[in-house]
Chains A and B, each alone.
Chain A
Amino acid sequence: MQFVQLKWAASALRAVSGVRRAVPTSPPPNYARGIGVLLLWSCAALDGACDPFGVRFNDVESAEYFEAATLRTAQVPKRLRIMTYNIKFAGGRVDFFFDCHGDEVLMKRDEVIEHLEGLATVITDYDPHLLFLQEVDTNSKRSAHVNQVQWLLDHTALNYAYYASQWRADFVPSDGIGAVDSGNAILSKFPLHHGQRWALPLRSDVGGLERYFYLRRNILTADVDVGFPLRVVVTHAEAYGQDGTKRSHIDRFKEQLDAAPGKVIGGADLNTLPPGSDQVAHFDDSVCTDEEFEADDYSAEQTWLSELYADYTADVALPDYQQNQSEYFSHTTDQSGFWNRKLDYLFTNLDIVEGSGLTHQDKAQGGIDTMPLSDHAPVSLEVELP
């Protein structure tokens, strides 16, 4: 097997980890790689016929349901507090290999619990009635197989949850990642029904082998029992596709909001910037050096969220964002810097409580320093219930 082909396989499998990393510094012996790639190519060749590592999903299927070990009574309020949070699989600010800030791959159980406790503090402090999560692990080697959805249910005031995996494999043969099960979740104080996982298009700009192990993103929907039909929609859009996949994910997210029978709340990490953002490329926390493309270049995506902002009320109105953009930034890979772009959103057709939209960046904004807890800051909003 030519080295150039193996290098392709290496770069392809890097993307499975969710971001990007540097070129491997110590490749394995060629015969070992040859045998391994031959086995993996066999799987790709039988793409339609076999699923040896259990990665596939149906187009539409029921979401996984969880309940807190102890259910707490919750009264339906006049105002609903909602939060969306990409928790980076309770990885905190560990210098994982995929951000090119370090070489860590796996966490110990104590580490994961410590990070979850920090996340629970933020969640409990705001006390949302609905919590939307992205990048939450339920059974991954990298997070010591802790079921983070169940853990948060048992350590916050939330009672019910639906979970939809977007990356599941018995074993990911790359970088020592091993088994993984990670995805989106809806947590609620009130009963949830009809949780469904809607498969999103896969990237078409990668080969069969990479596509087999790559993320299989989804939209998670459910109905919340608050006395009237309330649909909740959660997603985590594609980050790296150069084939229009991200745009299709954002469009399908809007389609799900549009398809709701009545009132709807959507929360998402859309991996793109609001229209009118001042900086759209060359962010100072991009340190990986071997990227085939610059994933942090949003220049071509300026209008992608326009329809969402036009048809729904967001956590922050577009004019307000455009006037004070840094207040709403919710992502950075570099914990020694500050949040440098807004990727996380809440949209609804309910009436929002004026001025309630908040990005919980630090003690001055939100009351708790969230920088050590994830590479995303949570975004929250209050809505008036009819």
Chain B
Amino acid sequence: MGPLLRLVGLSLAFGLAPRAQAKEPRPTSAADLAWSSRHALTLPKNRVDWATFSASHWGITQRTELSLHPVLVFFSPRAELKCNLWREPGTTRDGTLGRGWALSSLFSLAYPTRFLSVVSHSGSLALLPENTHVPPALEWGSGVLLSRYLGQVVASVRADLVFAPHAESDVPLLDFPFLYQRYASFYAPLVPRLAALLSAEFNRTWGMDVESTFSYLPIDPDYGVRRAYALESAVTVRGTFARRHRVVLGARVSTAEYPVGVRTHYMPSLDYRFLMF
């Protein structure tokens, strides 16, 4: 599996991603950017940030990071590649964040058909009717992530475009909270997203992330909604223990326009992560 994943990752990194504008910097220390992040810097080569309830991250090269969910990949396959195109030399310093700018490109590939098929059945937890026929569809995503490092604080902006071409279908709209905006590309020609993120490192143990993502959902009006949108925000607090263990607690709120109208929903989040060198 390891060589195969390397092949896939390298193919995506070098076949699809624009080449880096500068040479890869030498790693500064083993703790240099220990954990994966939502900002533009990537994990060092060969480091794995393994998560329990969210995507795990793997540093394929010094500038390329692959994300995959270890469990969900089997019924909601999705992979994302983050390629650090450029960063100023001072963005990391002796294992801590410094000052400067960094820019990364993002690529994602997903197979929404699998999840939409899994939730199409009779009885409890069926989000779509049993007689739903979901055509094969590949979701392609591309974006950029720009981060400004200010010592203990990082401010980032991310812009994405996703689309999932497929044969004409009669699949009912998946309008379940939080999944709605994540699978909207199946029902719309193109879904643009814009996100703002603020990360703060209080000390080597505690940190916090605040993120807000706006998605424009030009869903086919036949589904009963025009020019829909979703605004999802999340606040998480991170506690790192014994350098390699991290607990993340947080909450998400999503306000979106559904066919029934604008609704707001909340969801707690919990994750346990650990580093593998």
What residues make up the interface of A, taking CB atoms closer than 8 Å to B? 6, 9-10, 12-14, 21, 23-29, 31-33, 36-37, 52, 54, 97, 103-106, 109, 139, 141, 144-145, 170-171, 173-176, 178-179, 181
List residues 109-145 of chain B with CB under 8 A from any CB of chain A. Answer: 118-132
B53's closest neighbor in chain A, by CB? A35
Size band of the B side of the interface? Answer: 20 to 34
Nearest chain B CB to A146's CB is how many angstroms away?
9
- Are A14's CB and B123's CB within 8 A? yes
**Cβ–Cβ < 8 Å partners of A106 in chain B:** 129, 172
Given contacts A54-B263, A106-B129, A106-B172, contact A13 B124 (CB under 8 A): yes
The answer to whether B124 and A10 have CB atoms under 8 Å apart is yes
Q: How many angstroms between the C-alpha atoms of A139 and B173 in the bound complex?
A: 15
Q: Which of B75, B123, B261 contacts A27 (CB 8 A)?
A: B123
Q: 9 tightest CB-CB pairs across the interface, nearest first?
A: A24-B123, A176-B129, A105-B129, A36-B125, A10-B123, A24-B122, A13-B124, A179-B260, A176-B128
Distance in angstroms between the alpha carbons of A104 and B261 in the assembled complex: 24
B7 proximal to A (CB < 8 A): no
Q: Which of A144, A170, A175 contacts B130 (CB 8 A)?
A: A175
**Docked pose: A33 CA to B127 CA in angstroms:** 12
Give min CB distance, B216 to chain A, whole Å: 21
Across-interface contacts of A6 in B (CB, < 8 A): 124
| A173-B127 contact, Cβ under 8 Å, with A25-B122, A28-B121, A145-B259 | yes
CB contact list, B26-79 vs A, under 8 A:
71, 75
Closest to B258 in A: A179
**Residues of the A chain whose Cβ atoms lie less than 8 Å from the Cβ of B260:** 139, 141, 145, 170, 179, 181
In the assembled complex, which residues on chain B have CB atoms less than 8 Å from the CB atom of A14? 123
Contact A174 B263 (CB under 8 A): no
B222 to chain A: which residues have CB within 8 Å?
109
CB closest chain-B residue, reference A181 = B260
Residues of the A chain whose Cβ atoms lie less than 8 Å from the Cβ of B126? 24, 28, 173-176
**Residues of chain A within 8 A of B172, CB atoms compared:** 106, 141, 176, 178
Q: Is residue B211 within 8 Å, beta carbon to beta carbon, of the partner chain?
A: no
Q: Which among A21, A52, A144 is the interface contact of B224 at CB below 8 angstroms? A: A144
In the assembled complex, B177 has its CB within 8 A of some CB on chain A: yes
Known: A52-B265, A145-B259. A179 touches B175 (CB 8 A): yes
